[in-house]
């Protein structure tokens, strides 16, 4: 991922429009990741896309795409939550696949479990139709960059 400018982050936070942030990340553009604010939370969406299919017989989303979507969601979530202009660097990522990701929209929600000055731990849950029936859960540790003065509500 490339670094995000303070202006891009401020624009995204003020308008609740994260498309510009995601457009600056090549992998997010490739797989089609979207982000929207729902109240105080961010909701990430991976629209159904035939290019993301790994098993055409089911059809099912490729496991690597699901993992990439979840890791990217956590990094962007942390970027917004910490208001850092430097993209968080992944230290460790652990993923549990719970069921096949069918050919339909996939959603992810993130939660910071612990944040220190240099490291943060994020939990990610991905689902398709019902949030209470996740297709995968993950835990990620990131090295975080210094925060800027930009504030995301």
| Domain boundaries defined on the chain | 6-143
Task: Answer whether residue 149 shows pLDDT above 90.
Answer: no
* CATH topology classification for 6-143: Thiol Ester Dehydrase; Chain A (3.10.129)
Q: What is the pTM of this model?
A: 0.88
Q: pLDDT tens for residues 5-39? A: 677 777 777 777 788 888 888 999 999 999 998 88
Cα separation, 124 vs 67, in Å, equals 10
Q: Which two tokens stand for residue 81?
A: 């939550």
pLDDT in tens, 81-94: 887 767 789 999 99
CB atoms within 10 A of CB 75: 21
The pLDDT of residue 146 is 62
Confidence of residue 110 (pLDDT cuts 50, 70, 90): very high
Question: What pLDDT, on the 0 to 100 scale, is given for residue 9?
Answer: 74
The helix (H) or strand (E) run that includes residue 26 is helix 26-31
Per-residue model confidence as pLDDT tens digits over 47-78: 999 999 999 999 999 999 999 999 999 999 99
Average pLDDT, the chain: 88
**Stretch 121-128: mean pLDDT:** 97
| Separation in Å, CA 23 to CA 4, 118, 141 | 11, 26, 24
pLDDT surpasses 80 at 141: yes
- For 81, other C-beta atoms within 10 Å of its C-beta total 19
């Amino acid at each position: 991922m490339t670094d995000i400018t303070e202006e891009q982050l401020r624009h995204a936070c003020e308008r609740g429009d994260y498309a510009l942030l995601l457009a600056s990340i090549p992998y997010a553009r490739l797989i089609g990741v979207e982000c929207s604010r729902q109240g105080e939370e961010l909701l990430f969406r991976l629209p159904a896309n035939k290019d993301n299919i790994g098993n055409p017989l089911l059809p099912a989303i490729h496991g690597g795409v699901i993992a990439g979507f979840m890791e990217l969601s956590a990094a962007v979530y942390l970027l917004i939550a910490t208001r850092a202009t430097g993209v968080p660097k992944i230290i460790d990522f652990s993923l549990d696949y719970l069921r096949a990701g069918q050919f339909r929209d996939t959603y992810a929600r993130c939660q910071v479990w612990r944040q220190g000055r240099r490291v943060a731990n994020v939990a990610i849950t991905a689902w398709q139709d019902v949030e209470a029936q996740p297709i995968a859960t993950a835990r990620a540790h990131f090295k975080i960059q210094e925060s800027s003065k930009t504030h995301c509500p």
